[in-house]
Structure 1
Amino acid sequence: MKAVTFKKFGGPEVLEIQDIAIGKPGPKEVLVKNLSIGLNFIDTYHRSGLYPIPLPSGIGLEACGEIEEVGSEVKLFKVGDRVTHASMPIGAYAEKQIMPEDKLVSVPDGVSNEVASCITLKGITAEYLLHRAYPLKKGDKVLYHAAAGGLGQILCPWANALGAEVIGTVGSKEKEEIAKKNGCHHVINYTDKNFVEEVEKIVGKNGIDVVYDGVGLKTFEGSIEVLEIRGMMVAFGNASGYVDTIDVKKHINTKGLFFTRPSIAHYTVKREELEESAKKVFDAVLSKKFTVEISKKYSLDEAQKAHEDLEGRRLTGPAVIIP
């Protein structure tokens, strides 16, 4: 089968496509034929070495596919089931993948392969951010960075549906309209305006209840500045660089802030957590709390281009790889 692999950390150019042997699933594993593959920022962190992994390696954590073969002790699924996943083992950029059965969830009718492959990771991320990392309440004032991106297309309208006032930041004029379409009540283009000043015009000084920040280094200080007394800083990504130092006196103590750096792994530790979170995501899709529009499709041969577009901020929503 064809799979995207890399032998050293670096830029998109280290990705290469190879023909490899897949082998047979173990007793509690299944062989999945991938039908659509999710493209996520965490893939670039694995490729660059920001999140080091053993090399050589495959790449990708998210895909939707059909089970072709099951191990001797598999109880949750059968051949022909449509499933999706957003977890280790790494290697979703491939025509087929062997997966532990307990990392998979069923895809309900009414959710397409492409949508399933780009909302499992982003959708579960949005679910735990909105319902568990900071349980969002009606009337809360939210600041969300990168509101025109793939996760923004899910989280912002979902936050809106929960009754929050959503302020989104974007990096270009084109993305302003996308963020508005994504459910933001207010949109700030931080390339030509100071987002701290603009937020204060909307909600006043120290007026934000929670900041969801997946951008990182470039937005961190401003995000801390706009939060209210005892506000919550949810730093869940590093698109502009990793925030590696928290000054408790400067960043936390001045307003008694709460700070969390969550990941999907922390919120899907148990099988029931994974199943419940995925169910909430698929229910939200089917009830149209948010809609998903695929911004671009790539082939496996275009993995380098996909990463270039992702890191270059050229995508205006979720993108997928079709094997």
Structure 2
Amino acid sequence: MKAFNFTTFDPPTFILTGIPGLEDAHIWISIPFAAFYMAALLGNFTVLSIVVKEQSLHKPMYLLICMLALSDIVTSTSFIPKALGIFWFNLKSITLAGCLTQLFCFQATATVHSGVLMIMAIDRYVAICNPLRYTSILTNARITKLGLVCVVRAVLFILPLPVLLSRLLFCASRIIPHTYCDNMAVAKLSCGDITGSRMYGLALAFVVTGFDVTVIAMSYVLIIRAVLRISSKKANQKALSTCTAHILVILMAYPPGLFSTLAYRFSEGITPSVHIILANLTYLMPPMLNPIVYGIKTKELREKVVAFIGRRFLIGITDYATT
């Protein structure tokens, strides 16, 4: 029998093309990407610095907001700088080790983000359904331990993804039509059997995300049931208003992420350029918007942010007047 004519390369080096079909527009596309990324860094670092400095904010809810901010920073930083390097400097090459590291960091922090949203739902449930026991049930130490559990869970569940990819045999084709190393984009370059990577990635999306969404849904069912038992309409509105920020963040995280995951595997009607832009925005917009949502909807945090900006403005005016 005639042998198959393919070659392998070792060590593998891949080429990230950016957004195929829109190469001429990379510079223009990079402008909103860079703006969103800088806004995400500014917003999340501002939230972190304010919560760390203000003793009055050293509470479980704000500790969870800090965890969310950290996961947002790492998630966006794991892929946006490389994407901007492609857009601005044509830095398209990436080694297998670099590709797998990026994939692991991106997927792990996204999983941590989901876990933190789940803990936030539990936090809202306890605050509304068991307000008198809130401080004894959810202490800062307990929230910290739950956060560490989210990190350990993410590492244990995500680590098999790069391990499975590292064992694949990669053929001569090394072009990844994407701005970052997605699990399936890398797996499709292999000339071996990718069933394991495909099935594990899909199962991961449904099992981990499914578990978190189920806990969140159960928490809100119990919250709604408790709120409906309150006779005062004003008390109802006050209880539900404490959940508004969390609900908005959930809506920005899960539906777009699930759509992006399923579209990449099953949809043939979406052009690659549209899918890649949506995939980037899916993990770029929430890090930018989450600090704004919590800054606006959380009164105590909003007051501290306004005071912080006011102090910075006055310091700037004073420095300008003295020069």
Question: What's the TM-score once normalised by structure 1's chain length?
Answer: 0.25
- More contact order relative to length (CA 8 Å, sep ≥ 6): 2
- Which structure is higher in helix share? 2
Question: What's the TM-score once normalised by structure 2's chain length?
Answer: 0.25
Name the larger-Rg structure.
Answer: 2
- Which structure is higher in strand share? 1
